[in-house]
């Protein structure tokens, strides 16, 4: 939920695991009529799980109808629930609930995102995307005042750690999928799992451990570091009195966030505090007329 790239990355890879039509339809003898244009086939997977497959043509047709023209989370969720009621054993339920989870994530609706993740995990307890989604919501929404905070943190850790275990084995990747895209998707999931673990360690006062996880989160998806994770790394270093290193990361967090946002304001306060502690300085603003690289999101 912290970065738009997470949703965009998952949506970009959604096409890598689209539904297969029934096997009986795929293996028609030579000369048989071609399937209707609305029926989409997928190549056999080369890694991990095979793409979800319909058992019958009516099931596949109902799936296509469920995904058509569904634009927002509530509509996709209703379509998924209706489909699951009609086809309670269908493998295609995963794709519909995953689409609903992404839609809710894209609108920062953590409660509904968590609901969809839990529905997914009841169907497939090894799905790394559902695991990271459930872990992230739990970690971000647990407070010190929660009576069950330890249990919530333990569950979030289990989800994140299991996602790291299944990311290479439980993503359906059809043959021909661009390897760079697959690797980026997997690393994005790993980055999120590490950030969850780092957040939990930080909230429990284990700042050295949180530093290690935050660094892993940043390094594994270095192409687009999460500004919030960079900021949290600065705070973890600050808590350990590693002030020069903390200032370096705080300056980086300032560069990656927009002024006036929650993360941007916190990053600037942290930078200013560390400048006073170290006698260092903040980076100079860009010269007039110089191009400015926009922040990757509006934290």
The alpha carbon torsion through 174, 175, 176, 178 (nearest 10 deg) reads: 60
Confidence of residue 219 (pLDDT cuts 50, 70, 90): very high
Residue 102 included in any domain:
yes
Token pair, residue 128, equals 């790394």
- The pLDDT tens digits of the residues spanning 146-161 come to 999 999 999 999 999 9
Q: Roughly what angle, to the nearest 10 degrees, separates helices 243-256 and 262-278?
A: 150
- Using CA atoms, how far apart are residues 143 and 151, in angstroms rounded to an integer? 12
User: What does the pLDDT average to over 57-79?
Assistant: 92
How many domains does the chain contain in total? 1
- The alpha carbon of 189 is separated from its chain's Cα centroid by a whole number of angstroms, namely 6
pLDDT of residue 174: 73
pLDDT of residue 47: 55
Residue 244 included in any domain:
no
Residue 103 included in any domain:
yes
Name the least confident of 34-38, 71-75, 249-253: 34-38
Confidence of residue 83 (pLDDT cuts 50, 70, 90): very high
Residue 249 included in any domain:
no
Residue 234 included in any domain:
no
Q: What is the pTM of this model?
A: 0.81
pLDDT of residue 4: 43
What is the span of the domain harbouring residue 62? 4-26+36-178+199-208
- Using CA atoms, how far apart are residues 148 and 141, in angstroms rounded to an integer? 12
Provide the sign of the torsion angle of the four alpha carbons 240, 244, 248, 251, taken in this order.
Answer: positive
Residue 190 included in any domain:
no
pLDDT of residue 11: 42
- Using CA atoms, how far apart are residues 102 and 98, in angstroms rounded to an integer? 6
Helix-then-strand count for the chain, H and E? 13, 2
Confidence of residue 39 (pLDDT cuts 50, 70, 90): very low
The CATH number linked to 169 is: 1.25.40.10
Q: 45 or 177, which is more confident?
A: 177
Is the pLDDT at 206 greater than 60? The verdict is: yes
pLDDT of residue 293: 37
User: What does the pLDDT average to over 9-18?
Assistant: 46
Burial (0-12, 13-18, 19+ Cβ within 10 Å), 182? middle
- The pLDDT tens digits of the residues spanning 248-282 come to 999 999 999 999 999 999 999 999 999 999 886 65
Residue 235 included in any domain:
no
pLDDT of residue 221: 96
pLDDT of residue 197: 98
Is the pLDDT at 97 greater than 70? The verdict is: yes
Residue 123 included in any domain:
yes
């Amino acid at each position: 939920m912290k970065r738009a790239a997470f949703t965009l990355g998952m949506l970009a890879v959604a096409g890598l695991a689209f539904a297969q039509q029934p096997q009986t339809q795929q293996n028609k003898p030579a000369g048989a009529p071609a399937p209707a244009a609305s029926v989409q086939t997928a190549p056999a997977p080369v890694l991990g799980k095979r793409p979800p497959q319909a058992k019958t043509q009516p099931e596949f047709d109902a799936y296509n109808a469920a995904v058509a023209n569904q634009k927002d989370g509530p509509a996709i969720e209703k379509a998924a629930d209706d489909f699951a009621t009609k086809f309670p054993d269908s493998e295609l339920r995963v794709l519909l609930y995953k689409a609903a989870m992404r839609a809710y994530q894209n609108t920062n609706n953590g409660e509904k995102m968590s609901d969809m993740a839990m529905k997914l995990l009841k169907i497939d307890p090894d799905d790394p995307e559902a695991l990271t989604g459930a872990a992230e919501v739990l970690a971000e929404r647990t407070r010190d005042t929660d009576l069950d905070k330890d249990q919530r943190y333990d569950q979030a850790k289990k989800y994140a750690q299991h996602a790291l275990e299944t990311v290479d084995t439980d993503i359906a990747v059809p043959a021909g999928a661009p390897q760079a895209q697959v690797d980026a998707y997997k690393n994005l999931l790993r980055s999120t799992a590490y950030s969850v673990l780092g957040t939990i360690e930080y909230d429990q006062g284990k700042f050295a451990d949180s530093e290690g996880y935050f660094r892993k989160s940043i390094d594994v998806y270095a192409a687009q570091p999460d500004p919030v994770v960079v900021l949290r790394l600065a705070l973890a270093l600050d808590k350990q009195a590693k002030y020069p290193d903390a200032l370096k990361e705080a300056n980086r967090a300032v560069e990656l966030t927009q002024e006036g946002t929650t993360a941007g304001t916190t990053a600037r306060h942290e930078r200013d505090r560390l400048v006073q502690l170290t006698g260092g300085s903040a980076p100079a603003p860009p010269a007039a007329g110089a191009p400015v690289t926009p922040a990757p999101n509006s934290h």
